[in-house]
Amino acid sequence: MFFRIKKSGGRAYVQVVENKRVDGAVRQSVIANLGRADDLIASGALASLLASGAKLTEQVLLINALDEDADGSSKRMVDLATGNASEPTPDEGKDPAAVSLGRRGGLKGGVARAAKMSPERRAEIAKKAAQARWGKDR
């Protein structure tokens, strides 16, 4: 028996799976679907489930069955769930005064830019954005 993170429809789900031998071939059978991986991780339930699984077996195995993990997000999800990583704080190591100034400047910038722009220029930018978003041949 093992835990597996399985991708389906753009989301990742945690499953309890076992291997069975059927007609001379090993087949995997899903025992239970435990829910969405991101919800289980956020609530801390995944770590508890893995700890409970460890009590029942000699070792706990969490297999990540996600395809194409180019950005490493699924590995990060598994590391968070198993306690091998912690959530990064976005402003860690930054000067709090600089962060505050940057945030205030960001809030003002878009409004100030739009106020200086003519309605024709705003329409031109909107058309260009719409063309970039929806004008591509598929």
Residue 76 has pLDDT above 80, yes or no: no
- CA atoms of 39 and 116, how far apart (whole Å): 44
* 2-6, 99-103, 119-123: segment of lowest average pLDDT: 99-103
> What pLDDT does 63 receive?
58
How do the domains of the chain map onto residue ranges?
A: 2-82, 96-134
Arithmetic mean of pLDDT, 110-122:
86
- CA atoms of 131 and 138, how far apart (whole Å): 13
pLDDT in tens, 9-44: 888 888 888 888 889 898 989 988 888 888 888 887
